[in-house]
Structure 1
Amino acid sequence: MQHKKVGFKEIALRADVAISTVSHVLNGTAPISPEVRARVLEAAGQLGYLAKRREKAAIAVLRSILLAVPSDTLPHNEFNLFSWTLLSTLMRECERRAIRVIPIEIDRPHLSGERIVAEARAAEVDGILLLSEDRRDVLSDIAASEIPAVLINGEDHEMQIDSVTPGNRFAARYATNWLIEEGHRSILHLSWEGRSTIRRRRDGFLDAFRANGLSLDTAHVHLAEGYLPDQGEAAMKDWLASHDGLGGVTAIFCAADNLALGALAALTKAGLSLPDDVSIVGFDGVAIGELTTPSLTTVSVPLEHMGTAALHLLEQRIVNAAQQPPAHRLELGCRLTIRNSVKRLV
């Protein structure tokens, strides 16, 4: 049986609007009220038209977004290169596609999920992007609003909204497994009590020891006060003081490049030679790792792809709204960038 071809006329009949209105909504050629626009998109989705157009990348379903970000990601400095790189590539993609971006700082005092939803409704945006947020109440409020939303670099433990994140646990396991293959058995994981995405890196570190049948007694975890280089330096200095040196550790796997920079400084000040006395690996892959001495081996996160992936998830959520699909969790693969900070022992 041959299916009838669906076009603007059929969508117009279903949405009870003029054909020209359908054309303006689907091609983004004129401003249309949110109510009418939603009606047209719903009709087009129900008739299967959106999925066909989306396959050809020929529909402008995203016109504006609310971008909720932590305040420390906004100023560009040498310590927030992870967030800044992610955001800058996202903003360039939005500019290329003529998507209006309305920023809001999610860690302003008293900024609840309810307030974010209210701001999104007032601005009449098509969707919400949240960066590095995992507060349960905030995510619950946004999910309940039914405004399309995607969480970037965060975890929604109840899987209520779509999310895109690096494969933190897998990447940390891969990097630690590589260190083990290089002959290292007593490895220090330098981390901090960050959000769940950081805890996944610790999980992956321990996974590698279990997978290789090694005792967790030599999988050391040492916590810094935070992720900044001076906090990494203080934590490394504390480890050296309390263990009368390295304490048998031959490699250090840091949960962030910033911590690795601090650890490098502390080790150098203690008179240790890298990588001869101890090897070190970072995580994030920010450009500054190329400039250290020795140059830093690190897990490179695909920061330039995360924003685009989030926009794609947001589009899919809008296009397929009529089907009410379950939340998607997208993890992007990371790669190990090998430089000069690791010595092979076998």
Structure 2
Amino acid sequence: MVTLQQIAFHAGCSLATVSRVLKGEGPVSDEMVRRVRRAAAELGYRPSPATGRATNRSQPVVGVLVPSVTNPVFAASLGGIQHRLQAANHGVLIAQSNYDPALEARAVRSLLEQRPTGLILTLCDAKTSEALSAALPPTVLLNNRPVARFAAAVTVDNYRAGFDLTRHILDHGHRRILVVSGHFRSSDRARLRYDGYLAAMQEAGARPMEAVEIPFVDGYENLDLATVLAQHRPTAIIASNDLLALGVIAALRREGLSVPDDVSVAGFDGIALGRLMTPTLTTISMPDGDMGLAAAALLLDMAENASGCRHLNLDCRLYAGGTVRHLA
């Protein structure tokens, strides 16, 4: 049986440092974390039942934090994560933040109590999240850009996606384009998509509009756009995700407006519901399942092989559905 003393000798560090790395507690440099985990992997170390509260389980686990388990986007990512981890004989522990930055640190602490092999985190904003202030095991950010301390991430270019979708609508003759979004403080992805919209509008010489921000949770079904429509009179609306785009379409119909004859609508994500409706939803399709697979594979490589952190940026693509029309 491999001991912590053997790992310390192999890594060229103290026993206390090995303990801090394997428990994910206390200050340790990134280089030392890699050395200790590489030594543990090379020696074939596996935690004993006495090393943590939850180590009496039959298999190691990975902790995953997402904003919502019911959103099809994160459900697809979770499916990819679980598929890859099951192949590696790892279980999955899931927590959700409900798009609330204040809940993230608490959710991560709950996951850490189970002594996971590592963490996969989708945060409201990785730059400001308190969840990243703790001593964490190997961690991969999913849907968030990497930050200085956590350089491992799997993303798409949300800024470019916002730019390309806006450019598509501009090419259809629209100039009065409104963005309806979940609160930017709850999603840096939504903020990046809006930034891409601003850049495309500026490039086209069109005047951008201030985004209408609503809650991500319980904000879609009863969306009221009457005041916004009267004030801005948009010919097209971009929603920050597809579920919100469906809420926008329903709100427009309650106002007696047709999509796309009266107002064009587009979203982001490429969920199946958008392809089942008539007309089909114009959207930017995201590789959510593949992103989950990639995040899980990257985390396992870091945790078990002590590989370096990487930033993987996957491609997304425009799906030109029928909810955006050419203006005469």
Do both proteins adopt the same fold according to a TM-score greater than 0.5, normalized to the shorter chain?
yes
Q: Answer yes or no: is 1:225 the counterpart of 2:214.
A: yes
Structure 1: stretches of 5+ with no match in the other structure: 1-12, 18-33, 48-61
Residues 126-165 of structure 1: CA deviation (Å, up to 9, x unaligned) = 2111233535321121xx44x2111212345445342222
- Tell me what 2:164 maps to: 174
Give TM-score scaled by structure 1 length.
Answer: 0.69
For the 8 Å contact 1:275–1:341, the answer to whether it is kept is: yes
For the 8 Å contact 2:286–2:316, the answer to whether it is kept is: yes
1:176: how far off? 0.8
Partners of 1:224 and 1:233 in 2: how far apart?
Answer: 14
- Tell me what 1:153 maps to: 143
Q: 1:269 aligns with which of 248, 254, 257?
A: 254
In the comparison of the two structures, how many residue pairs are matched? 282
1:286: how far off? 1.0
Structure with bigger RCO (C-alpha 8 Å, 6+ apart): 2
Partners of 1:109 and 1:302 in 2: how far apart?
Answer: 25
Q: How does 1:98-113 map to 2 (within 5 A)?
A: 98-105=89-96, 113=105
Relative distance call for 1:118 and 1:96 in structure 2 (3 A) is same
- Tell me what 2:195 maps to: 203
Q: 2:270 aligns with which of 278, 285, 295?
A: 285
- Tell me what 2:283 maps to: 298
Residues 171-207 of structure 1: CA deviation (Å, up to 9, x unaligned) = 1111111111222222111113132121001001111
SS across alignment from 2:150: coil
Give TM-score scaled by structure 2 length.
Answer: 0.72
Structure 2: stretches of 5+ with no match in the other structure: 1-5, 11-21, 24-33, 44-58
- Tell me what 1:335 maps to: 317
For the 8 Å contact 2:101–2:124, the answer to whether it is kept is: no
- Tell me what 2:26 maps to: none
SS across alignment from 1:336: strand
SS across alignment from 1:221: coil
Relative distance call for 1:259 and 1:237 in structure 2 (3 A) is farther
Q: Answer yes or no: is 1:165 the counterpart of 2:167.
A: no
- Tell me what 2:64 maps to: 67
Q: Answer yes or no: is 1:42 the counterpart of 2:27.
A: no
Partners of 1:132 and 1:101 in 2: how far apart?
Answer: 18
Partners of 2:231 and 2:105 in 1: how far apart?
Answer: 43
Residues 21-50 of structure 1: CA deviation (Å, up to 9, x unaligned) = xxxxxxxxxxxxx79xx9896248899xxx
- Tell me what 2:121 maps to: 130
Partners of 1:231 and 1:110 in 2: how far apart?
Answer: 22
Q: Is 251-260 or 328-337 further displaced after alignment?
A: 328-337
- What amino acid sits opposite 1:68 in the alignment? L
Residues 307-339 of structure 1: CA deviation (Å, up to 9, x unaligned) = 111123213423664x8x4x5433322111111
* Structure of larger gyration radius: 1
Q: Answer yes or no: is 1:92 the counterpart of 2:74.
A: no
Identical-pair percentage: 32
1:295: how far off? 1.7
For the 8 Å contact 2:181–2:211, the answer to whether it is kept is: yes
For the 8 Å contact 2:162–2:197, the answer to whether it is kept is: yes
Relative distance call for 1:124 and 1:234 in structure 2 (3 A) is closer
Partners of 2:167 and 2:107 in 1: how far apart?
Answer: 44
For the 8 Å contact 2:62–2:118, the answer to whether it is kept is: yes
Q: How does 1:241-280 map to 2 (within 5 A)?
A: 241-243=230-232, 247=233, 249-280=234-265
- What amino acid sits opposite 1:345 in the alignment? L
Residues 249-277 of structure 1: CA deviation (Å, up to 9, x unaligned) = 22211111122112111222322232222
Residues 233-261 of structure 1: CA deviation (Å, up to 9, x unaligned) = 63422312435xxx2x2221111112211
- What amino acid sits opposite 1:289 in the alignment? G
